[in-house]
Amino acid sequence: MQSFDDKEKTKSVVLAWQELINKNKVAELKFYKGKVNLDMNIDTLRKRNAHFD
């Protein structure tokens, strides 16, 4: 029974680390909010033909 508990603890620790890493990545991306100017046409990138009638 001890090995089962150890596996569950390991899974919990791994999940906690993954969540912490993801939160840090999101925080780093939020730093750039409003600072990056992407002057792109999304329709061209998606290879669409934009028709304005």
Which tens digit of pLDDT belongs to each residue from 13-30? Answer: 999 999 999 999 999 999
Return the ∠ at Cα 8 (arms to 5 and 1), rounded to 5°.
20
Task: Specify whether the backbone of 28 is left (phi greater than 0), alpha (psi in -120 to 50) or beta.
Answer: alpha
Query: Where do the domains of the chain lie?
Result: 2-45
Q: Nearest to residue 4, comparing CAs of 12, 46, 38?
A: 12
Task: Name residue, tokens 């001890």.
Answer: 2
Task: Please give the pLDDT value at position 46.
Answer: 84
pLDDT at 44: 82
Structure tokens at 34: 């409003």
Q: Who contacts 49 (Cβ-Cβ below 8 Å, separation ≥6)?
A: 43
